[in-house]
Amino acid sequence: MNVITPEEVKKRLEAGEKLNLVDVREPSEHADFNIGGILHPLGRIMGADTEGIDEMMNEEVIVYCRSGNRSGNACMMLETMGFTNVKNLTGGMLAWEATFGR
């Protein structure tokens, strides 16, 4: 599993790059604060449900959660399902908020 830092993601977003961001947190967490990712909770991924993100299978996908743990699990699961370029956002939204705020 590859990783990517909040700084790298923010730099790419500010440069106008279109990123495939997937938020594996719960809906309430996503509603509270997110960086524009598609909400696809970890439970769906663990249930092998990739509807809505399966078109990204051969593209870079950056997965994030609160701290990086759930997204790490999601990355491993997505790789076993054939996703070829998944990256875990190190430190998740906690690291993002600590570095950039909301």
Q: CATH for 2-100?
A: 3.40.250.10
- Give the predicted TM-score (pTM) of the model: 0.97
Q: What is the pLDDT along the chain (102 residues), one digit of tens a residue?
A: 899 999 999 999 999 999 999 999 999 999 999 999 999 999 999 999 999 999 999 999 999 999 999 999 999 999 999 999 999 999 999 999 999 998
Residues serving a catalytic function are: 65
Question: Are the CB atoms for 71 and 78 separated by under 8 Å?
Answer: no
Domain residue spans in the chain? 2-100
Question: Are the CB atoms for 28 and 41 separated by under 8 Å?
Answer: no
| Angstrom distances, CA of residue 24 to CA of 15, 34, 41 | 24, 11, 4
